[in-house]
Amino acid sequence: MKLKLIVLSLFLFTTSLLSAQVKFTAEVSREQVGINERLRVDFNMNKDGDNFTPPSFTGFKVVGGPNQQVSNSWVNGKSTFSKTYSYYLQPNSKGTKTIGQAEVTVDGTVYKTSPVNVEVGDAVERPQDGNNAAIVPEDNLHLVAEVSKPNPYLNEAITVVYKLYVSERIGISNFRMLDNPTFPDFWSQNLNINGYRFEQGTYRGEPYRYAVVHKSLLYPQKTGKLEIDPIAISVSVDVPSQRRSIFGGIIYQTVEKRVTSSSREIDVKPLPTQGKPANFTGAVGSFEFSVDPSKTTLDAGESLTASVKVRGRGNLMLFDLPDLSVPASLEIYEPERKENFSSTLNGTQGSLTEDYTIVPSRKGEYPIPGLNFSYFDPRSETYKSISTNDIVIDVENGPVGTPASSTNSTGDSNVVTNNKQPVTLSGDQFRYIKLKANLKSLNEPSFFRSWLFWLLLILPLLIIPLVIVFGKKREARANDVTGNRIRKADKLARKYLSEARKNLGEQQQFYIALERAMHNYLKAKLHIQTGEMSKERISEILTEKGVDQTTTAQFIEILKSCEFARYTPASMVTMKQDYDKAANVISTLDKQL
């Protein structure tokens, strides 16, 4: 009896030891597969471990996984634990392939699986495991970035279109962007997409459906090899499962799949130096140029408008128009800039106009010299120049002006002719002399010692203290360097942000005007060229000019907000906050610069 109890105790003790052992195994769904088939390998453990390390899978391509599954159960008061890592593999070639050892750490001890051999044979007519929900999207879903031109010139427009290709074998119920595309080395503008529509097409020679998920217009701001970063989207894919309904139909299940586009590289060519005009300001495209006055005949004191206008297709927002110069007898005011252009996949087209208000002060004829506008045409790969004719302004009525010197009839430019005009008397030159005297009687009270006399005598003495106080305040204000800088900076901020303030409430127009205001401020303040307007270059220039890192970061953050707001909804409160931030940054920058 005692012997039986001892044997039973030893058996129970051995069983408990075996049950407490860690089991870590590798299992494959099939040990023989065709080269066009796939298999699943499961790494199972009965205790939770750390630092799981899969094998290298030499000879296979991982097309799915890792998928993790954890199971905990209680049966008759006994706990059972299971954890599985699953991978889906496709062989690269025929022959005997070995799946190496996986490793995991349990309670400080490293455990390894045994190697598993798989025989890979010829391709089969009907591959198995092809409908597994974890691997079906891999070969049937693709996000492709299509670039219109791989080697553009600096500031030449290119487009990038992201297309989602979906195979006829699967269906999708929804997709969403996971990250917003950024183009750090480009001036970019996102183009509107009027809804997502799937169209029939081909991908690598096979029939696919595709939808355009994003498109942008880019103007490269650097030369050399530039990279267009990839983007990612999440797609809800409906794939067939291994189960069927009670009526025999295939049951579909939805799998969330992350799809990433590949990065694209373009090689940006610098603009040629040969034949480059001296007045070239960075215009690239195809343009027409004109200078049109609203009128050429007027009287002194009246005003006319001279419109300097360029129209066509190209980087209209990235260059400056030539300045209009007039004779000294004509008063000219700062131009009003008008932009009327739109962007499509074909580039930016429209017109850019600067309207000058001109007011003559004297009678005469005044020539306004013609202007010359140069641009680079990427189609012909040559520089082109357009010159306008001189404009003669005829001021008919008003004070006679001093005529400009001109050359004599012999063509000698050193001989100046005398074009003085004789004075013509009109007969009313004595109209200011009063012919009727306004005499007063001697009996009227005298002004001397009257109350008005004493008031006028004492008034200057009363004004002197006020003048002294006002002078001291004015001197203190002039010596207040910090205060003057603040007032000047605030005035400058209001000037550049006036257009953005007018568009508060209209999101797209507001952020375009806000971004343009920030760029125009830098152009006016730092005299930098348009080709240096990338965010990285702006940061470098501000740092070189002694601007602190906080202000520089705030400026770059506002530019990023303008880019993101083009395709991200923004409330009125957000726009007002961005406007206030921009005003504070411009004010701070102006004080530091």
β-bridge partners, 253? 239
| E strand spans, 148-249 | 158-167, 171-177, 186-190, 199-203, 206-220, 224-228, 232-244
**CATH code at position 56:** 2.60.40.10
In angstroms, rounded to a whole number, what is the distance separating the alpha carbons of residues 161 and 398? 62
| E strand spans, 323-424 | 330-332, 336-344, 347-360, 364-368, 372-377, 382-387, 391-395
pLDDT of residue 431: 56
The answer to whether the peptide bond before residue 66 is cis (omega within 30 degrees of 0) is yes
- Dump pLDDT digits (tens) for 110-131: 899 989 999 988 877 666 654 4
- Dump pLDDT digits (tens) for 185-221: 899 988 888 878 888 998 888 889 999 999 999 999 9
- Dump pLDDT digits (tens) for 79-103: 777 888 888 888 888 889 899 999 9
> Considering the domain boundaries, does residue 161 fall inside one?
yes
> Considering the domain boundaries, does residue 28 fall inside one?
yes
> Considering the domain boundaries, does residue 146 fall inside one?
yes
Same domain, 313 and 261: no
- Dump pLDDT digits (tens) for 294-317: 999 999 889 999 999 999 999 999
> Considering the domain boundaries, does residue 278 fall inside one?
no
Residue with more model confidence, 153 or 140 = 153
- Dump pLDDT digits (tens) for 498-510: 777 777 777 778 8
Residue 336 is encoded by which pair of tokens? 């009003």
Q: What is the domain count for the chain? A: 4
> Considering the domain boundaries, does residue 117 fall inside one?
yes
Same domain, 257 and 171: yes
**CATH code at position 543:** 1.20.120
Given 395, 423, 441, the domain boundary residue is 395
Given 60, 86, 121, the domain boundary residue is 121
Same domain, 228 and 106: no
The closest alpha carbon to 111, from 50, 42, 161, belongs to: 50
Residue with more model confidence, 489 or 553 = 553
What are the backbone dihedrals phi and psi of residue 510, each rounded to the nearest 5 degrees, phi first? -65, -50
Same domain, 368 and 301: yes
Check if the beta carbon of residue 531 is closer than 8 Å to that of residue 221. Answer: yes
**Residues ≥6 apart with Cβ < 8 Å to 143:** 162, 163, 164, 165, 213, 231, 232, 233, 259, 260, 261
Check if the beta carbon of residue 575 is closer than 8 Å to that of residue 497. Answer: no
Residue with more model confidence, 373 or 240 = 373
Number of other CB atoms surrounding residue 85 within 10 Å: 19
In angstroms, rounded to a whole number, what is the distance separating the alpha carbons of residues 64 and 59? 15
Most confident of 262-271, 395-404, 554-563: 262-271
In angstroms, rounded to a whole number, what is the distance separating the alpha carbons of residues 234 and 248? 31
DSSP 524-537: HHH---GGG-SHHH
Same domain, 353 and 388: yes
pLDDT band at 292 (very low <50, low <70, confident <90, very high): very high
Q: How far is CA 154 from the centre of its chain?
A: 17
Same domain, 99 and 150: no
Most confident of 53-67, 266-280, 512-526: 266-280
Q: How many Å from the N-terminal Cα to the C-terminal Cα in the chain?
A: 102
pLDDT of residue 494: 66
Given 395, 415, 435, the domain boundary residue is 395
Check if the beta carbon of residue 134 is closer than 8 Å to that of residue 88. Answer: yes
In angstroms, rounded to a whole number, what is the distance separating the alpha carbons of residues 271 and 107? 65
> Considering the domain boundaries, does residue 408 fall inside one?
no
In angstroms, rounded to a whole number, what is the distance separating the alpha carbons of residues 177 and 164? 11
Rg, the chain, Cα only? 41
In angstroms, rounded to a whole number, what is the distance separating the alpha carbons of residues 316 and 23? 70
Same domain, 117 and 143: no
Same domain, 166 and 264: yes
**CATH code at position 329:** 2.60.40
Same domain, 146 and 249: yes
pLDDT of residue 533: 62
Same domain, 261 and 349: no
Same domain, 116 and 179: no
Domain of residue 150 covers: 136-268
Q: Is 320 exposed, middle or buried (0-12, 13-18, 19+ CB in 10 A)?
A: middle
> Considering the domain boundaries, does residue 416 fall inside one?
no
> Considering the domain boundaries, does residue 432 fall inside one?
no
Question: What b/e sequence results for 223-259 when a residue is b if at least 16 CB atoms lie within 10 Å of its CB, and e otherwise?
Answer: eeebebeebebebebebbeeeeeeeeeeebeebebeb
**Is the model's pTM score more than 0.75?**
no
Same domain, 221 and 313: no
